[in-house]
Amino acid sequence: MSEPVITLDGLAIGYDGRAVLSGISLAIARSSFTAILGANGSGKSTLLKTLLGLQPPVAGRIHFGSPPVFGYVPQTVELDPLFPLTGFDVALMGTYGRVGPGRFPPHAERQLVHDCLRATAADGFAHKKFSRLSGGQKQRVLIARALATRPDVLVLDEPTAGVDAAATHNLLEFISQIHAERKLTILLVTHDLPLVRKHAQQIVWLHQGQVLHGTVAELFTPERMAEIFEMELG
Amino acid sequence: METLRQILSPDFLLRNSVYTSVLIGFACPLVGVFLVLRRLIFMGVALPQISSTGVAVALSLPLWLGMDMSGHDSQNAHVLAFAGSIAFTLMAILVLAFLERRGRGLPEGRLGTAYVVAAALSILLLSKNRYAELGWLDLMKGEIITVSNFDLTLTAIALALVLVVLGLFHKELMLVSFDRTLAVTLRKNVVFWDALTYLLIGFTVSMAVLSVGPLISFGFLLIPPLTAHLFARTMRQFTIFASLIGGVASFIGFWIAYQWDLPIGPTDVVLLGIIYALSFVVKKLAFLFQSKSKR
């Protein structure tokens, strides 16, 4: 395994000092494709928020090799359609981490955004209002925005939620492609087991207060699946 | 047209009122845009009212302290009123924003309570202050008549400051309003940028209330952005349209009020309401026409 980009050491996550999940110890390897799985309320979003620094851990520590730049792709429902922003405006926000207060994004940064939109095949509709785009189109713009941050780790929070089957397939193929081409570390939160089986290398499965961690081959065996789903049914 | 010529004349007696009205008309929608986008419209109702209560408290202070206010000059009164207005507005914003961030309770309930208590308190203070007749009852009603050069200069400087800060930091203010999570991952200080947004809103509301009263302030904070939102495709268009609608409506409102001897503030707000209604109808008709053409 290559050097870890993120290491969780005895981490407990939760709200107001109360742990939802505890004893999380695992390492995310650089350039790996990791899927975070779990039922609703299992703590996926809490884990993601803790990793991104949106909320402090209840206990334990998160170590970063060197502080990584996160390219975050939120769920599209989290973004208010009231804002009159074009796809390009939204993608341009990815450069704001490098453009200081009181400055406008220079030509080079705008060019980078155009390149990212082209890479995600979103350049054709980037001039349209973001709120009027389809679910799949919005995800492509948001991935372009995440790429425009020049990320070390691409974090995608249920990118296929509300996206139809064909678009879901295309989107995951595309994420796999940029993972392979750019050697990006990818953290993908999803419910979709078949897609995870096809694309991810590592799995973090949050299940009834436990964290199961391993490769796809280790976790997706009939015995382990039966064990997990029996626990879930129980 | 004769009335228009009079209003535009440099010797026009009420020229300071025209300038103040237009300045407020241009500036209020610029921060109103953030109130609308952050879905804080109720805050836009409550803040001007709380701000005017601050004015009432500040102007009642000398009375409570047994000081004679009958001979005081208008500059001191203006500074005192501004201090009261800004103190109450910022205090209210801080408390409401803190409660909002905690995410508990019913925000609309808190804002509604703040509004109604502030309005009642203003009336109580007015009823016990014999200087109410000296002008600030007119202010509460939105009569923009007696504006001194000092008042006008203060308003212009304050609003220019708001404009400069908005222009410089629009990118950061927009980022934390649209996607806080992204702002955090980009290591932006979201608490600072939130505080600056609220500070700008509070400062503008205070200046507007002091110049044109709470009703008109709310009208200019809310209606121009809502009207502009019907047509704007980008943030730049949204901001410019909202400001232009506010500025032009305030001038035309003044013209109409002067021509027919109406109170200026309420005339402005009704005019803004008519513009909004007409824009809504035009937008719907355009949509129907487009749908038919496509079929």
Give me the pLDDT at residue A167, please.
Answer: 74
A10 and A64 part of one domain: yes
Enter the ipTM.
0.84
B188 and A97: CB-CB below 8 Å?
A: yes
Instruction: Give B85-116 pLDDT, tens digit per residue.
Output: 889 988 988 888 777 777 667 878 888 898 89
List domains and CATH numbers for chain B. 2-294 (1.10.3470.10)
B233 and A99: CB-CB below 8 Å?
A: no
Residue of A53, A74, A96 with shortest CB distance to B175:
A96
A33 and A103 part of one domain: no
Residue A194 located in a structural domain: no
Residue A25 located in a structural domain: yes
CATH of the domain at A131: 3.40.50.300
A79 and A177 part of one domain: yes
Q: With b meaning 16 or more CB within 10 Å and e meaning fewer, what string describes B236-251?
A: eebbebbbebbbbbbb
Give me the pLDDT at residue B45, please.
Answer: 84
Instruction: Give A82-129 pLDDT, tens digit per residue.
Output: 999 999 999 999 999 999 898 999 999 999 999 999 988 899 999 999
In a mutational test of the A interface, the residue from B168, B171, B226 whose CB has the highest number of chain A CBs within 10 Å is B171
A83 and B235: CB-CB below 8 Å?
A: yes
Q: How confident is the model at residue B173 (pLDDT cuts 50, 70, 90)?
A: very high
Whether the pLDDT of residue A76 is over 70: the answer is: yes
Whether the pLDDT of residue B68 is over 70: the answer is: no
B178 and A83: CB-CB below 8 Å?
A: yes
Give chain B's length: 295
Whether the pLDDT of residue A164 is over 80: the answer is: no
Residue of A74, A101, A145 with shortest CB distance to B172:
A101
Q: With b meaning 16 or more CB within 10 Å and e meaning fewer, what string describes B69-87?
A: beeeeeeebbebbbebbbb
A141 and A206 part of one domain: no
Chain B residues touching residue A68 (CB < 8 angstroms): none
Chain B residues touching residue A70 (CB < 8 angstroms): 185
Least confident range of A183-187, B2-6, B183-187, B203-207: B2-6
Q: How confident is the model at residue B227 (pLDDT cuts 50, 70, 90)?
A: very high
A102 and B168: CB-CB below 8 Å?
A: yes
Whether the pLDDT of residue B5 is over 70: the answer is: yes
Chain A residues touching residue B234 (CB < 8 angstroms): 84-86, 89
Give me the pLDDT at residue B193, please.
Answer: 93
A175 and A214 part of one domain: no
Chain B residues touching residue A89 (CB < 8 angstroms): 234-235
Chain B residues touching residue A78 (CB < 8 angstroms): 179, 181
Residue A18 located in a structural domain: yes
A54 and A105 part of one domain: no
A160 and A137 part of one domain: yes
Q: What are the structure tokens assigned to B14, written together?
A: 């009420």
Whether the pLDDT of residue B134 is over 70: the answer is: no
Tell which wins on pLDDT, A178 or B101: A178
Cα angle for residues A215, A198, A48 (degrees, 5° grid): 60
Do residues B48 and B205 lie in contact, with contact meaning Cβ atoms separated by under 8 Å? yes
Q: Mean pLDDT, chain A, as a whole number?
A: 86
List of E strands, B27-87: none
Residue A196 located in a structural domain: no
Secondary structure element (H or E) that encloses residue A170, with its range: helix A165-182
Q: How far apart are CA A51 and CA A188, in angstroms?
A: 13
Q: How confident is the model at residue A170 (pLDDT cuts 50, 70, 90)?
A: confident
pLDDT winner (highest mean) among A48-52, A219-223, B115-119, B272-276: B272-276
A96 and A77 part of one domain: yes
Count of beta carbons in the 10 Å neighbourhood of residue A193 = 13
A74 and B179: CB-CB below 8 Å?
A: yes
Q: How far apart are CA B245 and CA B279, in angstroms?
A: 11
Give me the pLDDT at residue B31, please.
Answer: 94
* Coil/strand/helix, residue A59: strand
How far is B93 from chain A, CA to nearest CA, in Å?
A: 22
Q: How confident is the model at residue B280 (pLDDT cuts 50, 70, 90)?
A: very high
Q: Which domain holds residue A91?
A: 69-184
Q: How confident is the model at residue B176 (pLDDT cuts 50, 70, 90)?
A: very high
Q: Between A and B, how many residue pairs show a Cβ–Cβ distance under 8 A? A: 70
Do residues A156 and A73 lie in contact, with contact meaning Cβ atoms separated by under 8 Å? yes
Instruction: Give A32-47 pLDDT, tens digit per residue.
Output: 999 998 888 888 888 9
A73 and A62 part of one domain: no
Residue A129 located in a structural domain: yes
Count of beta carbons in the 10 Å neighbourhood of residue B258 = 19
How far is B182 from chain A, CA to nearest CA, in Å?
A: 7
Half-sphere exposure of B8 (CA within 13 A, CB side): 6
Chain B residues touching residue A84 (CB < 8 angstroms): 229, 232-235, 237-238
Give me the pLDDT at residue B24, please.
Answer: 92
B168 and A149: CB-CB below 8 Å?
A: no
Q: What are the structure tokens assigned to A168, written together?
A: 């879901």
A171 and A211 part of one domain: no
In a mutational test of the B interface, the residue from A6, A55, A69, A72 whose CB has the highest number of chain B CBs within 10 Å is A72
Closest residue on chain A to B188 (Cα): A97
B39 and A104: CB-CB below 8 Å?
A: no
How far is A80 from chain B, CA to nearest CA, in Å?
A: 7
Chain A residues touching residue B41 (CB < 8 angstroms): none
B178 and A93: CB-CB below 8 Å?
A: yes
B234 and A89: CB-CB below 8 Å?
A: yes
Mean local confidence (pLDDT), A149-160: 89
A165 and A80 part of one domain: yes
Whether the pLDDT of residue B10 is over 90: the answer is: no
Q: What are the structure tokens assigned to A199, written together?
A: 């694309």
Residue A36 located in a structural domain: yes
Mean local confidence (pLDDT), A146-174: 83
B237 and A82: CB-CB below 8 Å?
A: no
A96 and B184: CB-CB below 8 Å?
A: no
Q: What are the structure tokens assigned to B189, written together?
A: 């200080």
Closest residue on chain B to A101 (Cα): B169
Whether the pLDDT of residue A73 is over 70: the answer is: yes
Give me the pLDDT at residue B209, please.
Answer: 84
Q: Mean pLDDT, chain B, as a whole number?
A: 85
Q: How confident is the model at residue B70 (pLDDT cuts 50, 70, 90)?
A: low
Closest residue on chain B to A146 (Cα): B182
Residue A171 located in a structural domain: yes
Chain A residues touching residue B238 (CB < 8 angstroms): 84
Look at chain A and report how many structural domains it folds into: 2
Closest residue on chain A to B235 (Cα): A84
Q: With b meaning 16 or more CB within 10 Å and e meaning fewer, what string describes B6-38?
A: ebeeeeeebebbbbbbbbbbbbbbbbbbbbbbb
Residue A191 located in a structural domain: no
A205 and A168 part of one domain: no
Give me the pLDDT at residue A175, please.
Answer: 84
How far is A134 from chain B, CA to nearest CA, in Å?
A: 17
